[in-house]
Chains A and B, each alone.
Chain A
Amino acid sequence: MGRIFVVDLDGRTYKCKFCETPLALADELVSRAFHCRRGKAYLFNNAANITVGTLEERMMQSGMHTVADIFCCCCGQIVGWKYEAAHEKSQKYKEGKFVLERGRIVDGVESEFYIDTHPTMSDAEDA
């Protein structure tokens, strides 16, 4: 699909579970107390490497909101949603923020146990 443009995030990040693309910095985490149909979800100030879907009005537990689903820009999997507008004053703080579903992201810390997918350059080192 062409060369997909991916931004590198410095620091501890949450990555897409399916393709490892970094989606948000741990520093940008606002709340762990969100929920979606599939389970827990985290609220972030900012997210990267996502494409935003179409806006729609959705009735959430906390009231009516204008949201758009967000997808990983590399593998296209749905990873959460973005709050565009909140109809109730008490929910306004969410506007412009992103929710990533816990079941669709992996914590950056776990990458320590992760096998390096970048192979070494010259054949000699493999042997």
Chain B
Amino acid sequence: MGGVEHEDPPSKRVKVSSEESESFSNSSSLREPARCSLSDSMARPLESRGDDEVVGVKGVVKKVELVRIIAEALYSLGYEKTGAHLEEESGIPLHSAVVNLFMQQIIDGKWDESVATIHKIGLMDENIVKLASFVILEQKFFELLDGEKVMDALKTLRTEIAPLGVHTNRLHELSSLIVSPSQTAIDGTSDQRLRIRSRKKLLEELKTLLPSTVMIPEKRLVRLVEQALDLQRDACRFHNSLVEEMSLLTDHQCGRDHIPSQTLQILEEHSNEVWFLQFSHNGEYLASSSSDCLVIIWEVKVDGRISLKHRLSGHQKPVSYISWSPDDHQLLTCGVEEAVRRWDTASGECLHIYEKSGLGLINCAWAPDGRRIFCGVTDKSICMWDLEGKEVECWKGQKSIRISDLGISSDGKQLITVCKETMISLFGWESNSEKFIEEDHTIISFALSKDNRFLLVSLSNQELHLWSIDGSVILVAKYRGHKRSRLVVRSCFGGLEQAFIASGSEDSQVYIWHRVSGELILTLPGHSGAVNCVSWNPANPHMLASASDDRTIRIWGINQVNMTQNGRHSNGVCYCNGAT
């Protein structure tokens, strides 16, 4: 059942939590707790060096740092007593006495004293001292202004803030406030505050200014944990479902059963090879086209079943290309070197036929505003029409080869087409500028990601190349494994956040790779002919469609039985059903 799956070694779980608690209990019995009360001047360095300097298996976590961020976390959570107790019991103060004094002075509004204290902290960088002083005195300035002590505020500005010699622009803004103290005015040009802020917020900003060894950043432990969760999620090769909660208690790892791998439906309405298919942007429809010259619009029902909605006949040649309008209300279809037809999705009516006499059209695409369409022509040019069929523009010259796909970049300003056998052009159709992607082998087809920022290129040497086209053009990844030697075989992006790449293959299977790692994770047998095209439902990461020479379309999904049994997991761990 399902796909041919590749073995992977079970993931290792590093049990850090139990080791940490061991080393804590060890240290408190081995060492005498140093009576380091908060009124001492500076934290004494640890007397004993050696094993209890680091915790954890890898030996990279310094105990002093760990205890300090735990203390900070306790204080952030509001557990003042426990935080203080931890500092005492471990002998590791969260902040040195000087810093504690400094923080208290800020909260109490003792500005001059706090500026003096900064110099006592022992900061290496003079600039930081100045920047911190500026911020503190700025607060003093605002509080004076707020208390209507304008002369004092002015004095502060002149004699205390200005000599620092930093943030001169800000200085000018502050002086303008003395002249026109309209406190409620919000300056549209600068995003700087013009109103007083709380002392607590001032303290937070100071924590970002001062080095983190001096003042532990706010909520540092929580941020580290969030980083770990992000990394776990990124590393999860099968992650394809919106798991509501990730637990801290076990590493997150999805099983393969969240990736479509079971044939849920076989659609047999075409009477010849199915060459192309694509889901609409909203995932509610699927359009397929065949060498029987027919286009079919299918409806995706709420329960996931696909049913036939319209048969669109009219083309006299095999239909090789389909393009959904940005709002999905209309559809463009292109017959091989024939004409392009525009259809209405709801009624199935053919609204317009676009042709060029003596020539054939090879592909079609919508402008992002849905009011114009682009088509490649057999004479290597590209044409732009308005919806009524009036030719608005035509770019001649070597713009396109005979078999080429057509796409639009994310900003709608570049036309993407294969202009030479081994070259893709990103043509700024208004600016007339051009960027190129150069490959070493013949380009067969390409697909754009949902956000149009990535390009997946299929090559004659049986490789798929992933290019980033947002800004500069960079090759990002390569995927191999599928078979292609004679036909136009297409691939696509899909899954949650487009985390996967899928492709058809001449060996009748569907291939699925994990996009970031490049790893081939599934091959899906089932079709009895070459799989020409695949499309992943943009609105349902669990639905994949494939079109084959065996005249059928297969709809792939996840194992339904398994999902109802396991349902939603609160710890983010999903077990594979074990069946292959």
Contact = CB atoms under 8 A, between A and B. Distances in A.
B403 A5 contact: yes
Interface string A23-53: 0000000000000000000000000000100
A73 interface: yes
Contacts of A5: 403, 442, 444, 460, 486-488
Contacts of B358: 120-121
Most buried by A among B275, B355, B402, B486: B486
Contact residues on A (Cβ < 8 Å of other chain), bracket:
10 to 19
B336 A3 contact: yes
B87 interface: no
Contacts of A89: none
Contact of A6 (B275, B403, B485, B532): B403
Most buried by B among A120, A121, A125: A121
B421 interface: yes
A118 B337 contact: yes
B251 interface: no
A127 interface: no
A51 B485 CA distance: 8
Interface in B110-159: none
A73 B357 contact: no
Nearest to B339: A121
B339 to A, nearest CB: 6
A8 B401 contact: yes
A1 B486 contact: yes
Given A120-B357, A121-B357, A122-B357, A4 B486 contact: yes
Contacts of B442: 5, 7
Contacts of A51: 485-486
A1 B549 contact: yes
Interface in A1-17: 1-8
A57 B337 CA distance: 42
A12 B439 CA distance: 25
Contacts of A121: 338-339, 355-358, 360
B530 A2 contact: yes
Interface in B479-509: 485-489, 506
Contacts of A118: 337, 360
Contact of A8 (B318, B402, B485): B402
Interface string B396-408: 0000011100000
A6 B402 contact: yes
Given A120-B358, A121-B339, A121-B357, A3 B485 contact: no
Interface in B404-451: 421, 442, 444
Nearest to A5: B488
A3 B319 CA distance: 10
Interface string A88-124: 0000000000000000000000000000001011100
Contacts of B275: 2-3
Contact of A4 (B338, B401, B487): B487
A3 B532 contact: yes
A5 B337 CA distance: 14
A118 to B, nearest CB: 6
A2 B532 contact: yes
Contact of B487 (A2, A7, A8, A125): A2
A3 B487 contact: yes
B549 A122 contact: no
Interface string B310-337: 0000000010100000000000000011
B297 to A, nearest CB: 21
A7 B489 CA distance: 15
B273 interface: yes
Contact of B549 (A2, A73, A120): A2
A2 B273 contact: yes
Contact of B421 (A4, A7, A120, A125): A7
A32 B485 CA distance: 29
Contacts of A2: 273, 275, 486-489, 506, 529-530, 532, 549
Nearest to A76: B486
Most buried by A among B339, B401, B487, B549: B487
Contacts of B530: 1-2
Contacts of A3: 275, 291, 318, 320, 336, 403, 487-488, 532
Contacts of B402: 6-8
Contacts of A73: 486
A15 B336 CA distance: 21
Interface string B45-72: 0000000000000000000000000000
Contacts of B444: 5
A51 B460 CA distance: 12
Contacts of B485: 51
A121 B320 CA distance: 17
A1 B403 contact: no
B61 to A, nearest CB: 56
Nearest to B548: A2
A1 B488 CA distance: 10
Interface string B459-495: 0100000000000000000000000011111000000
Interface of B: 273, 275, 291, 318, 320, 336-339, 355-358, 360, 401-403, 421, 442, 444, 460, 485-489, 506, 529-530, 532, 549
5 contacts: A1-B486, A2-B275, A4-B486, A118-B360, A122-B355
Interface of A: 1-8, 51, 73, 118, 120-122, 125
In the complex, the 3 A-B pairs of residues with the closest C-beta atoms, listed nearest first: A2-B487, A8-B402, A3-B488
Given A1-B530, A2-B549, A8-B402, 17 more contacts: A2-B530, A2-B532, A3-B275, A3-B318, A3-B403, A5-B403, A5-B487, A6-B402, A7-B401, A7-B403, A7-B421, A51-B486, A120-B357, A120-B358, A121-B356, A121-B357, A121-B358
